[in-house]
């Protein structure tokens, strides 16, 4: 017996929602297969093969299987660029939690699986942040708070993702953030995060886009991404609603109307090019939570 799931890329933070908000993307996605085994073992095929550790103690999916107390063979068909800021470490963790729950009929709800899957992130980020595994399991725009997670449907927007050829590790990007932020900055960030969720609930993409920008997260981390401000301005000039660093970077995402997506993509790549940086890119939509396939 074997359970096979599709676990998609995600974009965490959405600016001010640091460690709280995340968006499920329709593509790319990993395929995770889980089957009972004599001992816990991990195999990786695809983009992460060779760079993602196979030792279960150092692998996000391995930590999840350990936390759930199951000896399984986990095969990860990996399609999300490692260290890109698109939840490459979260998708195997979320997919594994979901698949083990199915395989052994453990009866967890999707919400109940989020804190379990978050334990996997310790292997990648050093902390059990849930803003990638949350949307990967729940879909749409997901809010995580303590052991709770809630998904809100998004309006129909295109998501343009630009992956510049820059190395950023999640651990290093987390260390850049100050332990304390001034009260005034905290108030502005809470306001933006709330407005973003209100924008999703009221199907107002312009409100979502405005709320994506100007967070403390952007202020401290954007210097890691050469050309950040020009790339953001390029996207906005072509009709993007807003731009943010995806997770801990270096990927940047822009939300825009479907018919503007190619123009926004071209402008962002062009601006990175002016700074001598080459990019990969893709255009996708908001995705659903992990599914059995
Ligand atoms: N919220 C996490 C961070 C996401 O920004 O460090 C990492 O992908």
Task: Say which of 60, 75, 121, 218 is annotated catalytic.
Answer: 121
Residue 78 confidence (pLDDT): 95
CB 12 within 8 A of CB 89: no
Single pTM value for the model: 0.96
Residue 6 has pLDDT above 90, yes or no: yes
Mean pLDDT throughout 100-109?
A: 98
Task: Say which of 10, 75, 96, 170 is annotated catalytic.
Answer: 170
Mutate to test the pocket of ligand 1, among 22, 125, 136, 244 (most ligand atoms within 8 A of CB): 125
Mean pLDDT throughout 52-71?
A: 95
Residue 127 confidence (pLDDT): 84
Residue 172 has pLDDT above 90, yes or no: no
Output the average pLDDT for the chain: 96
Residue 48 confidence (pLDDT): 80
Q: Is 289's C-beta closer than 6 angstroms to any atom of ligand 1?
A: no
Residues 6+ apart with CB under 8 A from 264: 160, 235, 238, 239, 240, 254, 256
CB 162 within 8 A of CB 265: yes
Q: Is 247's C-beta closer than 6 angstroms to any atom of ligand 1?
A: yes
Residue 167 confidence (pLDDT): 84
Residue 123 confidence (pLDDT): 86
Residue 2 confidence (pLDDT): 96
Mean pLDDT throughout 236-250?
A: 97
- Per-residue confidence band for 52, with pLDDT thresholds at 50, 70 and 90: confident
Residue 47 has pLDDT above 90, yes or no: no
């Amino acid at each position: 017996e074997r359970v096979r799931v599709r676990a998609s890329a995600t974009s965490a933070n959405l600016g001010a929602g640091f460690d709280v908000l995340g968006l499920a993307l329709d593509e790319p996605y990993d395929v995770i297969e889980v089957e009972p085994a004599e001992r816990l073992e991990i195999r990786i095929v695809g983009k992460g093969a060779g760079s993602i550790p196979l030792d279960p103690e150092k692998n996000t999916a391995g930590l999840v299987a350990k936390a759930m107390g199951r000896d399984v063979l986990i095969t990860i068909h990996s399609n999300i660029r490692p260290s890109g800021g698109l939840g490459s470490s979260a998708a195997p963790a979320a997919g594994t939690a979901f698949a083990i729950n199915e395989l052994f009929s453990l009866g967890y709800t999707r919400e109940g699986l989020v804190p379990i899957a978050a334990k996997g992130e310790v292997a990648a980020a050093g902390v059990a942040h849930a803003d990638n595994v949350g949307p990967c399991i729940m879909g749409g725009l997901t809010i995580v708070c303590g052991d709770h997670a809630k998904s809100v449907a998004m309006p129909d927007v295109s998501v343009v993702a630009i992956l510049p050829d820059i190395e950023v590790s999640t651990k290093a990007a987390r260390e850049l953030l100050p332990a304390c932020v001034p009260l005034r900055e905290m108030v502005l960030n809470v306001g933006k995060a709330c407005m973003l969720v209100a924008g999703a609930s009221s199907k107002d993409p312009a409100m979502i886009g405005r709320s994506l920008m100007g967070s403390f997260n952007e202020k401290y981390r954007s210097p890691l991404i050469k050309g950040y401000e020009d790339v953001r301005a390029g996207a906005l000039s072509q009709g993007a609603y807003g731009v943010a660093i995806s997770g801990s970077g270096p990927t940047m995402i822009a939300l825009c109307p479907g018919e503007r997506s190619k123009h926004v993509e071209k402008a962002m790549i062009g601006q990175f090019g002016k700074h001598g940086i080459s990019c990969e890119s893709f255009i996708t939509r908001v995705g659903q939570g992990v599914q059995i396939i």
